[in-house]
């Protein structure tokens, strides 16, 4: 009854996944870990097998399911290996660096004929997003017409270019907007402030809904994600991310977190629990390989159009029946 999990990659996210599996997830045991830094892996082993080679970990008989949290460039290859081995995997976003690779994975999974991959778009498990989706589906705000997203990072390293703001950050809004609205973007338009930060990206969906997203990599004041769905008869939006308010030094308010880990800690935890249960029950949850492909290809198409000044039409490969 206990799922035997191998974890590949023990950086910030990988270590957090390891902790979640060990301390906050029912029905799972970490039996194998792997990291480029072998010493780090040994330190975190706590009885798990330590692998140098992630493909060996995937192949290990003890490993029933895999968490892929190694560098982005390795995701596609490892996901394909899991498919080949017939082992379920939770793969950190992005699924692949290019839409071509992502589509290859999609086709491979369709070939296997079983949903084995879940992509780690954890926001789908965030209580606020979940409440917003449920309330919208329950008709609380009427048919959605607009979605306002704000995605602000306190700061980004110098090598974080305008393109990465889209492929690394905005992909979250691509995924969560599709999930919230249940419809596909068909056009994109990017406005950029001086220095290409922030960006203001407007998507139109197949149903005519508008999705407006501010992506600000150096917002400076803190990590802050917000979303509001506007419907024909009302709106739902995230409350400020705080359980405690302070009065101090002439100020009332609360502190932001410095990055996404504390803000989405609960989403990561719930994602892990849902994945483990999903592997047991065979009922897929969360973002599929197809969803991973869509996020990556839309981001890629928007990046290709950066610097132009008009609207870009977005196209998707045909969706395999397998994902309907």
Contact set for its own copies, span 173-232 (CB under 8 A): 189, 191, 193-194, 198, 200, 202, 204, 207-210, 212, 214, 216, 218-222, 224, 230, 232
Residue closer to its own copies (CB basis): 72 or 266? 266
Provide the token pair at 3.
Answer: 């799922």
Minimum CB separation from its own copies for residue 119, in Å?
23
C-alpha count within 13 angstroms, C-beta hemisphere, residue 159 = 0
What is the C-alpha radius of gyration for the chain, rounded to an integer number of angstroms? 20
Helix (H, G, I), strand (E, B) or coil at 278: helix
> Is residue 145 within the footprint of its own copies (CB under 8 A)?
yes
User: What is the total count of residues that contact its own copies (CB under 8 A)?
Assistant: 75
Residue closer to its own copies (CB basis): 12 or 26? 26
Minimum CB separation from its own copies for residue 150, in Å?
8
Stretch that binds its own copies, among 34-42, 161-169, 233-241, 298-306 (CB under 8 A): 233-241
> Is residue 138 within the footprint of its own copies (CB under 8 A)?
no
Taking CB under 8 A as the rule, which mask of x and - marks residues 281-320 in contact with its own copies? ----------------------------xxx---------
Out of 52, 137, 206, 258, the residue judged to bind its own copies by CB under 8 A? 258
Write the burial class of residue 64 (CB in 10 Å: 0-12 exposed, 13-18 middle, 19+ buried). Answer: middle
CA dist., res. 216 & res. 323, Å (int):
33
Q: Give the chain's largest Cα–Cα span.
A: 62
């Amino acid at each position: 009854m206990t799922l035997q999990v191998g974890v590949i990659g023990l950086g910030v996210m990988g270590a957090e996944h390891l902790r979640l599996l060990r301390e906050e997830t029912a029905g799972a045991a970490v039996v194998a870990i792997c990291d480029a830094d072998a010493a780090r892996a040994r330190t975190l082993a706590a009885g798990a097998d330590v692998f140098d080679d992630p493909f060996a970990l995937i192949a290990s008989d003890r490993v029933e399911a895999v968490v892929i949290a190694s560098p982005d460039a390795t995701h596609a290859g490892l996901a394909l290996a899991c498919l080949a081995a017939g082992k379920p995997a939770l793969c950190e976003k992005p699924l692949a660096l290019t839409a071509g690779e992502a589509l290859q994975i999609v086709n491979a999974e369709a070939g296997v004929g079983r949903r084995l991959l879940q992509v780690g778009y954890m926001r789908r498990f965030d209580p606020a997003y979940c409440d917003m989706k449920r309330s919208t589906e329950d008709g609380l705000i009427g048919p959605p017409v607009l979605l306002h997203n704000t995605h602000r990072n306190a700061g980004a390293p110098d090598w974080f270019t305008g393109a990465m703001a889209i492929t690394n950050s905005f992909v979250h809004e691509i995924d969560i907007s599709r999930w919230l609205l249940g419809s596909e973007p068909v056009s994109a338009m990017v406005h950029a402030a001086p220095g290409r930060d922030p960006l203001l990206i407007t998507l139109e969906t197949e149903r005519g809904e508008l999705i407006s997203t501010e992506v600000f990599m150096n917002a400076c004041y803190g990590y802050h994600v917000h979303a509001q769905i506007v419907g024909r008869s009302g709106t739902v939006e995230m409350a400020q991310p705080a359980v405690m308010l302070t009065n101090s030094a002439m100020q009332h308010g609360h502190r932001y977190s410095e990055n996404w880990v504390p803000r989405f800690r609960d989403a990561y935890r719930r994602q892990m629990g849902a994945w483990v249960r999903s592997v047991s029950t065979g009922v897929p949850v969360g973002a599929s390989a197809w969803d991973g492909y869509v996020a990556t290809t839309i981001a890629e198409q928007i990046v290709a159009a950066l610097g132009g000044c008009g609207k870009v039409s977005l196209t998707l490969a045909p969706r395999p029946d397998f994902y309907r």
